[in-house]
């Protein structure tokens, strides 16, 4: 009998445990909880708020009441109140398997995002993503946050996951395109941005980014169409005009470039860095057209706004002098035909009261002109070779050696090498024992200032 009781008692105890557990976790019990939540949803918001607050007064951590309250506030877009509720739900749901950890964290993150509480939003969405990696809302919003944090590689992975669920979501395509642009993947960025703009044609920032992609992919005409369209936009207009003008300037269409830059400068509110760059590039365009005075005025304005901007100080020193000396402008900047005309005047005025006959002229890549002349004075006559160099920097020994070789080839008795810059020490040492004179900028300026008064009585013979 003792043995019989020893066997039957454990069996009875195990049966009771199974029976109680089945009752607690039966589908009927779960169904009852769902019905309870459904009763909350079936009521109007005022009733839900009243009942939820009554239950929370008895138990501040009542999960069902908190969930009901959170849903009402979320539906009504009462984000501050919803945030406090879901913040409480995070504590309540910790370690509670009956509560939906994913849904609570995701909603908490999205509410925090609405309030621009980005750290809290990131925290909630990161937990939700860890629980359910394929969820669209978590991937998209977390991708957006990574974009804002400039973590573009992470953003790209998350946004691509979101697109797998919803391929036509315009904002996902938008931020994916901008993230790809930031990592210089211009081709994929362009593809995403095109789709985003197709879905949201008024997204001008994405259209502008498309223009930048075309520019980086060396497709200037496509970029130009976009930037020209956006030049008048009150926000993006100055930057678009800067791009359009730069493309036209690169294409040597200076009049169109001037128009682009001037349109950009007409905008009333321009960021100072864009304003200065517009003026700088407009000045560069004017220099291309030899409108020195306009360029100098713009560079003076730049110096007032941004005293040490790029090479403006050096450019001003150079072009202020150019602006006051027309002959120097022609010597340094004019087309080859005007430069050669000036070089002939310089040659013919080089020896006052001499009879000069020019017998040969040659030009080297518009960098310098070589003029061979027969010179006859009252004391001597000889064949003289002139080299007139357009550079303003330092002329090295190699060019002077080349000039010496040319003197030998032409059998000239003397050589004069003129430059708008200076000659290096090596170049000066090279000519010490040779019949070559080096004429630097100061002496050249003296010649340029007087050639118009030294033309009388000269024989010009080509």
Q: What is the pLDDT of residues 152-202, one digit of tens each?
A: 999 999 999 999 999 999 999 999 999 999 999 999 999 999 999 999 999
**Max mean pLDDT range (43-57, 227-241, 311-325):** 227-241
Distance CA 41, CA 273 (A): 55
Q: How many CA atoms lie within 13 A of 454 on its CB side?
A: 20
Residue with the larger pLDDT of the pair 318 and 215: 215
d(CA 443, CA 421): 11
Which of 58-72, 393-407, 432-446 is least confident?
A: 58-72
- pLDDT of 458 reads 41
Flag the least confident range among 47-51, 123-127, 159-163, 241-245.
47-51
- Determine whether 411 is exposed, middle or buried from the number of CB atoms within 10 Å of its CB (0-12, 13-18, 19+): exposed
Write down the pLDDT at residue 7: 54
Whether residue 24 is predicted with pLDDT greater than 60 in this model: the reply is: no
DSSP string, 223-287: HHHHHHHHTT-TTTHHHHHHHHHHHHHHTT-HHHHHHHHHHHHT-SS--HHHHHHHHHHHHHHHH
Write down the architecture of domain 219-324 according to CATH.
Answer: Alpha Horseshoe (1.25)
pLDDT per residue as tens digits for the range 96-112: 788 889 999 999 999 99
Give yes or no for residue 355 having a pLDDT over 50.
yes
**29-33, 135-139, 164-168, range with the lowest pLDDT:** 29-33
Tens of pLDDT along 234-259? 999 999 999 999 999 999 999 999 99
Nearest CA to 312 among 292, 294, 298, 291? 298
Q: What is the pLDDT of residues 363-421, one digit of tens each?
A: 988 899 999 999 999 899 999 999 999 988 899 999 999 999 999 999 999 999 999 99
Q: Which residues pair with 357 in a beta bridge?
A: 374
Q: Please state at what angle helix 204-216 crosses helix 186-199, rounded to 10 degrees.
A: 150
Tokens of 338: 């005007």
- The domain segmentation of the chain, as residue ranges, is 219-324, 334-453
Mean pLDDT of 78-97: 87
DSSP 451: G
Mean residue pLDDT of the chain comes to: 87
Taking the alpha carbons of 264, 265, 270, 274 in that order, is the dihedral positive or negative? positive
Q: Per-residue confidence at 452, pLDDT binned at 50, 70, 90?
A: low
- Give yes or no for a contact between 329 and 312, defined as CB atoms under 8 angstroms apart: no
* Between 37 and 199, the higher pLDDT residue: 199
- Per-residue pLDDT, 70: 87
Whether 133 contacts 142, CB under 8 Å: no
Same fold: 219-324 with 334-453: no
Return the pLDDT at 9: 52
Regarding the domain delimited by 334-453, which CATH topology (the fold level of the hierarchy) does it fall under?
Trna Endonuclease; Chain: A, domain 1 (3.40.1350)
At 46, the pLDDT band (50, 70, 90 cuts) reads confident
- 8: how many CB neighbours lie within 10 A of its CB? 10
Which contiguous run of DSSP H or E holds residue 62?
none
């Amino acid at each position: 009998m003792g043995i019989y009781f020893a066997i039957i008692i454990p069996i009875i105890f195990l049966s009771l445990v199974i029976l109680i557990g089945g009752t607690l976790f039966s589908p009927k019990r779960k169904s009852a909880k769902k019905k309870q939540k459904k009763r909350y949803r079936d009521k109007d918001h005022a009733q839900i708020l009243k009942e939820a607050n009554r239950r929370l007064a008895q138990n501040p951590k009542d999960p069902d009441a908190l969930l009901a309250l959170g849903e009402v506030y979320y539906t009504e877009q009462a984000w501050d109140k919803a945030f406090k509720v879901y913040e409480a739900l995070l504590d309540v749901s910790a370690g509670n398997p009956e509560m939906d950890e994913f849904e609570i964290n995701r909603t908490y993150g999205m509410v925090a995002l609405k309030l621009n509480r980005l750290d809290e939003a990131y925290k909630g969405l990161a937990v939700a993503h860890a629980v359910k990696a394929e969820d669209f809302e978590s991937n998209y919003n977390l991708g957006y946050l990574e974009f804002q944090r400039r973590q573009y590689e992470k953003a790209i992975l998350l946004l691509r996951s979101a697109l797998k669920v919803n391929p036509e979501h315009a904002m996902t395509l938008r931020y994916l395109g901008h993230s790809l642009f930031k990592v210089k993947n211009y081709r994929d960025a362009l593809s995403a941005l095109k789709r985003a703009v197709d879905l949201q044609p008024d997204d001008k920032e994405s259209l502008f980014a498309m223009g930048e992609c075309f520019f980086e992919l060396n497709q200037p005409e496509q970029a130009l169409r976009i930037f020209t369209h956006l030049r008048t936009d009150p926000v993006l207009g100055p930057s678009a005009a800067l791009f359009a003008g730069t493309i036209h300037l690169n294409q040597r269409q200076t009049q169109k470039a001037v128009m682009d830059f001037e349109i950009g400068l007409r905008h009333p509110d321009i960021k100072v860095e864009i304003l200065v760059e517009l003026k700088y590039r407009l000045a560069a365009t004017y220099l291309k057209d030899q409108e020195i005075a306009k360029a100098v005025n713009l560079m003076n304005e730049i110096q007032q706004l941004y005293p040490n901007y790029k090479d403006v100080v050096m450019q001003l020193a150079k072009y202020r002098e150019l602006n006051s000396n027309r002959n120097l402008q022609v010597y340094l900047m004019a087309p080859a035909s005007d430069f050669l005309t000036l070089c002939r005047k310089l040659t013919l005025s080089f020896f006052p009261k001499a009879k000069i006959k020019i017998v040969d002229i040659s030009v080297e890549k518009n960098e310098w002109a070589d003029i061979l002349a027969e010179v006859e004075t009252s004391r001597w006559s000889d064949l003289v070779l002139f080299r007139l160099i357009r550079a303003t920097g330092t002329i090295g020994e190699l060019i002077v050696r080349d000039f010496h070789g040319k003197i030998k080839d032409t059998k000239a008795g003397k050589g004069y090498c003129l430059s708008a810059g200076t000659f290096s020490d090596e170049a000066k040492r090279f000519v010490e024992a040779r019949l070559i004179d080096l004429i630097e900028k100061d002496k050249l300026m003296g010649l340029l200032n007087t050639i118009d008064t030294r033309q009388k009585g000269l024989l010009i013979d080509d």
